[in-house]
Structures are given as structure tokens and as C-alpha cells.
Amino acid sequence: MLALVFIAAAQAGTQHLRHSPGYTERLVGDLFPDEARRPISVSALARSLGFPVETTRRHVIKLVEKGFALRTEGGGVLVTSDILRREALLRAVQSNAVNMKQLIDGLQRAPVDR
């Protein structure tokens, strides 16, 4: 659940950009700059995931304690580009990509009639 809260918070910070024309022009390398990111409230994050607010809040606290998210003055949650560029996170993403490919390959080989 912690990973889901992290991913949702990271995506929420730039979701508004994806609906504007030419949004890819705002990318700096492969990420949007921090000044273009918007924090998301814990309650909105909980709603987007279908989780209870209190459960989401506890996971946000863990992410902040571990340095994988920031809390803004208004209480919002923000995942910055510096966080997304961390070596440990990049290694985890690469490892997960391998696992996801194996899952997809396995699903494609599964019988269709089930």
C-alpha cells in the first residue's frame, strides 16, 4: 500500500499538466520541474485510491519520514523531481520493470478459455 500511495502522490503532482496542450514541452529531461508540480491533499489522495483517509495519512507520514514525499505548509503531499531521481528509487523502478514484464509474459501465455 505504501508504494501505491507514493505512485499516486507522484502522479497527482503533475496530472494537471497532462491535460494542457504541449505539456511535453515543460519536461526537463524526463521529469516536470518542481515549480510546475502541485501538492495533493491526503483526502484527495485517499479518494483517488479508494483507501480510508486515516490509512492514507499513515502511509503519507511514513513516506515523509523516509524522505520519499514532502508535506507542504497547506498540508498537501508533494513528490519532487529530486526524490524521483534518487538512485535507490531508480533501481527499484528498474527491478519492478523486469518483474512487470515477467507478469505480462506469463499472462499472455495463460490459456484464454479460463
- What pLDDT, on a 0 to 100 scale, did the predictor assign at position 114? 60
- Is the model's pTM score more than 0.75? yes
- What pLDDT, on a 0 to 100 scale, did the predictor assign at position 22? 77
**Could you tell me the pLDDT band of residue 8, with boundaries at 50, 70 and 90?**
very high
| In the chain, domain spans | 2-82
**Residue 8, exposed/middle/buried by CB under 10 A (0-12, 13-18, 19+)?**
buried
Across residues 17-31, what is the average pLDDT? 78
Q: CATH fold of 2-82, please? A: Arc Repressor Mutant, subunit A (1.10.10)
- For 28-47, the pLDDT digits (tens) are 778 888 888 999 999 999 99
